[in-house]
Amino acid sequence: MELDQHRMPKVTNPRFRLHYHLMPPQGWMNDPNGFTYFQGYYHLFYQYHPYGVEWGPMHWGHARSRDLVHWETLPPALAPDSEADESGCFSGSAIVKDDRLFLIYTGHHVPDETHPDDFWQTQNVAVSDDGLHFYKLATNPVISTPPTDNSQHFRDPKVFERDGQYYLTLGSQTAATKTGRALLYRSANLIDWEYQGVITEATERSTAGFMWECPDFFRLNGQDLLVLSPQGIEATAKQNLNLYQTSYVAGQFDFQTLNYRHDELQELDHGHDFYAAQTMLAPDGRRILIGWMDMWEAEFPEQADGWAGAMTLPRELTWRHEQLYMFPVAEVRQLRTKQVLNENWQGTNRELQVPDPQHLELRLHANLTDWQGQQLTLRFQAGEQQLQVTYHKDDHEMVVTRAGRDAQRFAQLRPQEELDLQIWTDTSSVEIFANQGEAVFSERFYPTTSPQVTLQTDLPLAMQITGYNLY
């Protein structure tokens, strides 16, 4: 589809542009949508406002990749130009059926722009034969009203196939209690959908949220996992500190009875910038997740340059030690251009000299068994801009501190003998993976000069340090 070039902001300064993460060509990006594999390409769509650097009438931006790391920007797939989605093509997902790519998305309707909170939402389908051109069904919407006990919040369909049936889960809110829940629908053909019921719901607003956005329901290593983005969970001292969360529950779901025995909601990523994550099943069976690497109501310094928003690295999900692990897909190794660090080091304080600290893959690997120290800190410092990663051995805690307001984020690790810290930096982002993805922090970080990278421990610690320059 064609955009009106005259109305589109231009990128005026490359200073914060990322080198290997997906970001909009210009304009605004939020949630990942329609993450799928079709005719030899990974496709990733996203919530896109081409006519401003802030959220606005939502389009579906579109990119594709052969390898999950080199992305080609394509023309937007959807614009809010039909009766079924007049105020926005909100989040949704994709699935391949009979060699055709089906997009299922939410049509947003605001009858009176002066009252943006008085809206209604429907579910719609668009189809493509080539992965480039998309046709909305003339019969849209495919789901025109929410269940009778639902509020107006009814969006973000995530479609999947199970035992020869199509299903989708939807983000929603119970009308009476104003609490979040995930709904289940079933279809034989992706067009005619039958409401099944509630997969699971918030029992309390303060601990589970008033609305669940972007649910994603899938099976991994014997677990039925529901990843969702709850709004309204109250922060505790060290958890749920972002405005909105992305969390998950794990358990066993029965598609006949809709009985879901699951444990508590857990945060999926502990960083300041992570939301609306979506997964896909790769052809080789890996479950891969991408999230929006930003947060609502955060500052977006890149807005001054004509764009806003980015995606995380694609991460492979695994289920280990009764929790989800996330770790960058193996394809990310292709980004290495040169090894810049490779040494065994023991000491308490040093600067890591690397040619380009903002495009770096860094790994610190230490055996903690005989170490009497308590604390290890890695710091990126550029003037006032500082991002610090600290491991506290006594309580097995990771703390990320980003200078500025609301600085700290926390994650608890299992007691173990080794510490393996892996970090990817990309111009204005830092992603931190502890112990192969047991704890993850996604951070936007905007140094305006090249940061100094330093390592500090309270007592000498032997570690292996490796680093690669990334393209």
Return the number of the residue (30 or 358) whose C-beta is nearest ligand DQQ: 30
Cα(198)–Cα(262) distance, rounded to whole angstroms?
14
To ligand DQQ, the closest distance from the beta carbon of 58 in angstroms equals: 5
Strands (E) in 118-263, as ranges, are: 120-128, 135-136, 150-162, 165-174, 179-187, 194-201, 211-220, 223-231, 247-254, 259-262
**Active-site residue, selected from the candidate residues 4, 31, 149, 406:** 31
To ligand DQQ, the closest distance from the beta carbon of 430 in angstroms equals: 22
Q: Do you find a cis peptide bond into 141, omega within 30 degrees of 0?
A: yes
Quick one: which of 387, 397, 393, 365 has its CA closest to 459? 393
Cα(143)–Cα(138) distance, rounded to whole angstroms?
13
Q: Which residue has the tokens 């600067």?
A: 351
Return the number of the residue (128 or 246) whose C-beta is nearest ligand DQQ: 246
Quick one: which of 366, 372, 379, 375 has its CA closest to 398? 375
To ligand DQQ, the closest distance from the beta carbon of 274 in angstroms equals: 12
To ligand DQQ, the closest distance from the beta carbon of 298 in angstroms equals: 13
To ligand DQQ, the closest distance from the beta carbon of 56 in angstroms equals: 9
Token pair in block for residue 75: 């023309």
Across-strand partners of 444? Answer: 429
Return the number of the residue (172 or 435) whose C-beta is nearest ligand DQQ: 172
To ligand DQQ, the closest distance from the beta carbon of 92 in angstroms equals: 8
Quick one: which of 28, 190, 69, 197 has its CA closest to 124? 190
How many Å from the N-terminal Cα to the C-terminal Cα in the chain? 31
Return the number of the residue (174 or 435) whose C-beta is nearest ligand DQQ: 174
Token pair in block for residue 25: 């060509």
Query: From residue 128, how far is each of 97, 125, 134, 437 by CA, in Å?
Result: 10, 10, 5, 35
To ligand DQQ, the closest distance from the beta carbon of 31 in angstroms equals: 5
The question of whether 31 is a catalytic residue gets the answer yes
Q: How far is CA 326 from the centre of its chain?
A: 11
Quick one: which of 235, 218, 236 has its CA closest to 227? 218
To ligand DQQ, the closest distance from the beta carbon of 154 in angstroms equals: 10
Three-state secondary structure call for residue 352: coil
Q: Torsion angle, CA of 215/218/220/223, rounded to 10 degrees?
A: 80
Interacting residues of 282 by C-beta distance below 8 A, sequence separation 6+: 37, 42, 288
Return the number of the residue (58 or 199) whose C-beta is nearest ligand DQQ: 58
Return the number of the residue (155 or 287) whose C-beta is nearest ligand DQQ: 155
Q: Which residue has the tokens 């495009």?
A: 359
Three-state secondary structure call for residue 182: strand
Q: Torsion angle, CA of 390/394/396/401, rounded to 10 degrees?
A: -20
- The per-residue DSSP string of 138-151 comes to TT--SB-S--TTEE
Return the number of the residue (275 or 307) whose C-beta is nearest ligand DQQ: 275
To ligand DQQ, the closest distance from the beta carbon of 105 in angstroms equals: 8
Q: Please count the other Cβ atoms lying within 10 Å of the Cβ belonging to residue 239.
A: 17
Name the site residues for ligand DQQ (rule: CB under 6 A).
30-31, 47, 58, 90-91, 106, 155-156, 171, 213-214, 275-276
Strands of the sheet with 89-97, listed across from one edge: 89-97, 100-109, 120-128, 135-136
Return the number of the residue (90 or 134) whose C-beta is nearest ligand DQQ: 90
Return the number of the residue (59 or 287) whose C-beta is nearest ligand DQQ: 59
Active-site residues: which are they? 31
